[in-house]
Amino acid sequence: MEIKFFDTKEKKKTVFKPIDLKEIKLYVCGPTVYDRAHIGNARPAVVFDVLFRFLRYNFGKNCVTYVRNFTDIDDKINKQSMDTGRSIKSITDETIKWYKQDMLQLNVLEPSKSPRATEFVGAMIKQISILINNKNAYQDDTGHVLFSTRSFPDYGLLSHRKLDEMNFGSRVAVSDNKRDPLDFILWKPSDEKTPGWDSPWGRGRPGWHIECSAMIHELLGESFDIHGGGIDLVFPHHENEIAQSCCSYPKGGFANIWMHNGFLQIEGEKMAKSSGNFFTVQDLIQMGVNGEVIRMVLMLTHYRQPLDWTRQRVSDASKVLNKWRLLCAGKRASKSPASSVLAALADDLNTPKAFAELHELASAGNYSELLSSAQFLGLMEQDLNEALPTIQLSDFETKKIKSLLRKRFEAKKVKDFVTADQIRKKIERVGIILQDKSDKTEWSLSPNFNRKKMKDL
Ligand SMILES: [Zn+2]
């Protein structure tokens, strides 16, 4: 089967030719660990999990090395430690534990290796030293080590940007210490309160970009097959990774193919804590959205397209999954997934096409292939005899909502719209959607229904 993936650098689908059939190497930039994973963080985890499963199926279970790092050196982590008085180790340990639990709920397989940046500071220092020796980097008079971007002629090839255009854009933010505004930080000095490591440039800590380059070199070598991540990482993060790695290890080719997943938005809007449309994987699970449903919604859109997370999609996916579960209950999965599903994935991981094929299998009554194909995609692994649990309100909670709606109805009757509106807002804050019909008000739970807030009603 010919496998094609869209390469961001080439801007087209290219045939996937592994460097070494005995070890296919995949690297994906992992989370910075200071907070719960939000649904946007879950998207690359699921997308590249599908890729990992697909590569393992095609080339052999033990022939794929998938590295996904944890960024546990970051100024956001340092700030949280300062603000809360908790140690960095306890923050990052806890967040990594949460992340692993959340990914497990989404049926995301453990990568082959999950390195933490703190374990590779030695390798980062080594790589920065090489870059200084090669005249690709320099230390300024404030103790920072900077990469000299213009020393790498291919800079900008991944993101299809021209150096001089970037220069124009960043001229406003020229730092006094940089020789060129395009230069980026490899190493920065740490004060006593900030974590630091001894280095030839004094006590300090690495910049974010060099973390990935060093971990990749240590775990995958100078050339590897696929580098993945979110589209927001193309520039500057991945562009900088290429520059650092190709200048320190010029014999290697770094990544052969670059794959990037698109953005995620909520109900057509940018996800933002300030506008209230922000949820973590844990929020969704608490609201009663099953991990498999979350996974399915994330797979229903092709990975390169922007994904719009909507209540409607959550409800549709959950209905489809429950239908398939009932159809497959008591059936035995076929030995391998349907060839039509594999063919869809071989065409740049076309998961929407794969789901169309699953619907075909369901209507054709081919339940054993439906089951094995769904399981191949990380679905329907739980007991098929039980419907997926959905949230159930207690009688007490239901009565509470009904009584508030009655009060609102009375208020409207006497044209007290202020009170009616206050009640509506109060109910909506809990995550309940109200729909006024001519004679009654219908209500339903939205995906941001928050049971804890029920006590405020
Ligand atoms: Zn990275």
* Residue 447 confidence class, pLDDT cut points 50, 70, 90: low
Q: How far is the CA of 238 from the centre of ligand 1 (A)?
A: 6
Residue found by looking up tokens 């996974």 in the block: 295
What ranges make up the beta strands (E) of 166-263? 184-189, 204-206, 223-230, 254-261
Q: How far is the CA of 135 from the centre of ligand 1 (A)?
A: 23
At 183 the three-state DSSP class reads coil
Going by C-alpha positions, the residue among 30, 13, 14 that lies closest to residue 237 is 30
- Say if residue 385's pLDDT is above 90: no
Average pLDDT over residues 217-240: 97
What pLDDT shows up at residue 173?
A: 47
Which tens digit of pLDDT belongs to each residue from 53-79? 999 999 999 999 999 999 999 999 999
How far apart CA 50 and CA 108 sit, in angstroms, is 8
Largest CA distance in the chain: 81
Look at strands 137-139 and 269-270 and give their pairing.
unpaired
Query: For a pLDDT cut of 90, what percent of the chain falls above it?
Result: 75
CA distances from 151 to 166, 209, 217, 243, 247 (A): 15, 17, 21, 9, 9
Sign of the CA dihedral running 9, 10, 15, 17: negative
Name the residue with higher pLDDT: 72 or 267: 72
Going by C-alpha positions, the residue among 260, 236, 206 that lies closest to residue 27 is 260
Q: Are 186 and 244 in contact (CB under 8 A)?
A: yes
What pLDDT shows up at residue 317?
A: 94
Residue found by looking up tokens 């973390």 in the block: 211
- Tell me, what amino acid is at 409? F
Q: Work out the mean pLDDT of the chain and round it to a whole number.
A: 92
Q: State the virtual CA torsion across 412, 415, 418, 421 in degrees, nearest 10.
A: 20
Report the topology of domain 4-261: Rossmann fold (3.40.50)
Q: Domain-by-domain residue ranges, the chain?
A: 4-261, 265-376, 395-456
Q: How far is the CA of 207 from the centre of ligand 1 (A)?
A: 11
Q: How far is the CA of 27 from the centre of ligand 1 (A)?
A: 9
* Residue 174 confidence class, pLDDT cut points 50, 70, 90: very low
Q: How far is the CA of 185 from the centre of ligand 1 (A)?
A: 14
What pLDDT shows up at residue 436?
A: 82
- Tell me, what amino acid is at 114? S
- Say if residue 391's pLDDT is above 70: no
Q: How far is the CA of 209 from the centre of ligand 1 (A)?
A: 6
Which tens digit of pLDDT belongs to each residue from 344-384? 999 999 999 999 999 999 999 999 999 999 999 999 987 67
Q: How far is the CA of 367 from the centre of ligand 1 (A)?
A: 41
Q: How far is the CA of 212 from the centre of ligand 1 (A)?
A: 5
Going by C-alpha positions, the residue among 445, 325, 295, 297 that lies closest to residue 387 is 325
Q: How far is the CA of 109 from the centre of ligand 1 (A)?
A: 20
Chain mean position to CA 429: 27
Q: How far is the CA of 330 from the centre of ligand 1 (A)?
A: 44
